[in-house]
Structure 1
Amino acid sequence: MRNVRVVVRNAARPSYLPVMLRKAWVRLGHGHDRERDAARRWAAWHARDLDAWGSAVDPVVWREGRAFARAHADAVRPRLERLAEAGVNLGGGGGVELLYLLTRIVRPALALETGVAAGWSTTAILAAMRANANGRLLSSDFPFFRLPDPERYIGYVVPGDLRHRWTLRVRGDRRNLEELLSPDTMVDLVHYDSDKTRKGREFFLRRVRPHLTRQHVLVMDDIQDNLVFREYAERQPAFRVFEYEGKFIGVTGGGLPALERRGLDAGRL
């Protein structure tokens, strides 16, 4: 009953209700993607070993990213365990090492992510920007509406000393992107981890396309859910797929060939 009361209380907030209704519509089966089998087969066929690829691109930065991921997980574990004891589970991170590596090498002046949740990917990007001494991150999310005061959990694991490079909006992608992407905004690195439906992904790609630099790199999580990443990536100069904890991450964009040339020039790829 407590969870029901919390959901009803959050639904009474005008900025929450439209997004909550859209999520409920999808979960009831409307707009359900029927492509999962084909998407999973395609992803599995193209999947490469992430650790081998990262080491081949830049072994020093890859080790740096892995060490950061372990240290950060250890640092925030006590706080997350206390939350879990109180019945709050914010989930874990996915592809943290990959995002750290890409941020360090692409050196984006501006990066964009959707789907912050606890903030694992956010922290990886911001920590790599700190190492680069350059860059800002724009993030879009929507609160965990089953929790009381849900905004306080967005980016929960992001350290305070990284937040000065971070702009966060929390009203759902459709509203957030209107605020974050002004006509002259150009983005070098994108991480998509929000609405996993076909419509959600297609909307995002249409909305963000005019704001991508020619050398951008785009990362999309859970590409096994539908074929949107395949359709987008096969029109790009290159793409890569990596299996991660039973799911698949896709990487593509005009900047990927230049990124991989680091490994080719050193004879590692």
Structure 2
Amino acid sequence: MLKKLYKRINDTRGERSATENYKWLRENRRSFSAFAESIDQALWRESETVARRITEAADARLREVEYDLGGGGVYPLLYFITRLMRPTVVVETGVAAGYSSAAFLEALEANAHGELYSSDFPYFRIPDPERYIGIVVDDSVKHRWHLYVEGDENNLRAIVDEVPAIDLFHYDSDKSYSGREQAWDQVRARLASNAVVLFDDIQDNSFFMDFVGREGREDWYVFEFNDKYIGLVGTLKRE
């Protein structure tokens, strides 16, 4: 926890200022629903339906929990991408209550193919914290789930050693610049040649902007969701 606090105070904000980063994000943002519909309208409708079901089930379950475990991200898009790509291995960081995990797992189950490897760390200052990680994930899809709870540095090392290749990587944990860099350095050698990579909350610093520039990537997208931004790198196509 002290290490995390130190990062927040002393971590770099990136090669660009916050103003420059926000300007770039606003200039390049796209509607993720329009983007998905342009690829497969019927599948996007399915994704919205499943997302509503996840939300309703999660709301009911979380009403029984006395702690605030946070909300969900752009999980309709995560479901859509997973159904479209039919990945064998999905890796995510940052589980929390498990909205994104649920979306991935529901999509993998619908595909009847693939496994999810999730990295998280137990909630701080909550009794018996591990029981709340991924609490909204339905038991029926957990047979495709591998959950690691020793923090990204340890978890990603173990996951990379276990999987043959990563087809889809979703980063939603330590939002510091160095946290993103460290995770990328750990997984990049294990990414499949056609892997899709997503970074959440890219408004926090200029990592994503700097990243696509340094890597010379042209296959990137910025989506806005609830006043936050998500960055995607890769080409989406049906497998």
TM-score bucket of the superposed structures, by smaller chain: over 0.9
Corresponding position of 1:123:
102
Corresponding position of 1:213:
192
Is the 8 Å Cα contact of residues 111 and 138 (structure 1) preserved in structure 2?
yes
Larger CA Rg, structure 1 vs 2: 1
Alignment deviations for residues 220-258 of structure 1 (CA, whole Å, 9 cap, x no partner): 1001111211222242241111100000001112xx1x5
Number of equivalent positions: 234
Q: Secondary structure at the match of 2:192?
A: strand
**What is the correspondence of 1:167-182 to structure 2 with a 5 Å cutoff?**
167-182=146-161
Are 1:69 and 2:51 counterparts?
yes
Corresponding position of 2:229:
248
Give distance in 2, aligned partners of 1:196 and 1:101: 24
Are 1:155 and 2:134 counterparts?
yes
Corresponding position of 2:38:
56
TM-score, length-normalised on structure 1? Answer: 0.83
Are 1:31 and 2:31 counterparts?
no
Q: Secondary structure at the match of 1:117?
A: coil
Q: Residue 72 of structure 1 aligns to which amino acid in structure 2?
A: I
Give distance in 2, aligned partners of 1:91 and 1:184: 29
% of aligned pairs identical? Answer: 43
Structure 1 gaps, min length 5: 1-19, 263-269
Alignment deviations for residues 128-162 of structure 1 (CA, whole Å, 9 cap, x no partner): 11111100011100111121111111001000011
Give distance in 2, aligned partners of 1:91 and 1:203: 24
Runs ≥4 in structure 1, deviation > 3 angstroms? none
Q: Secondary structure at the match of 2:164?
A: coil
Q: Residue 147 of structure 2 aligns to which amino acid in structure 1?
A: L
Are 1:102 and 2:81 counterparts?
yes
Give distance in 2, aligned partners of 1:203 and 1:32: 13
Is the 8 Å Cα contact of residues 187 and 212 (structure 1) preserved in structure 2?
yes
Report the alpha carbon displacement of residue 54 of structure 1 after superposing the two structures with TM.
1.1
Q: Residue 130 of structure 1 aligns to which amino acid in structure 2?
A: E
Give distance in 2, aligned partners of 1:52 and 1:184: 33
Structure 2 gaps, min length 5: none
Cα gap change, 1:154 to 1:247, in 2 (>3 Å): same
Is the 8 Å Cα contact of residues 40 and 225 (structure 1) preserved in structure 2?
no
Report the alpha carbon displacement of residue 68 of structure 1 after superposing the two structures with TM.
0.5
Is the 8 Å Cα contact of residues 13 and 206 (structure 2) preserved in structure 1?
no
Farther off after superposition, 68-77 or 193-202:
68-77
Give distance in 1, aligned partners of 2:162 and 2:45: 38
Give distance in 2, aligned partners of 1:43 and 1:156: 32
Farther off after superposition, 125-134 or 182-191:
182-191
Corresponding position of 2:60:
78
Q: Residue 127 of structure 2 aligns to which amino acid in structure 1?
A: P
Q: Secondary structure at the match of 1:92?
A: coil
204, 219, 231: which is aligned to 1:238?
219
Report the alpha carbon displacement of residue 32 of structure 1 after superposing the two structures with TM.
5.4
Cα gap change, 1:105 to 1:202, in 2 (>3 Å): same
Cα gap change, 1:184 to 1:138, in 2 (>3 Å): closer
Alignment deviations for residues 150-188 of structure 1 (CA, whole Å, 9 cap, x no partner): 111100100001110010101100011111111763100
Q: Secondary structure at the match of 2:154?
A: helix
Is the 8 Å Cα contact of residues 54 and 103 (structure 2) preserved in structure 1?
no
Q: Residue 56 of structure 1 aligns to which amino acid in structure 2?
A: S
Give distance in 1, aligned partners of 2:143 and 2:122: 21
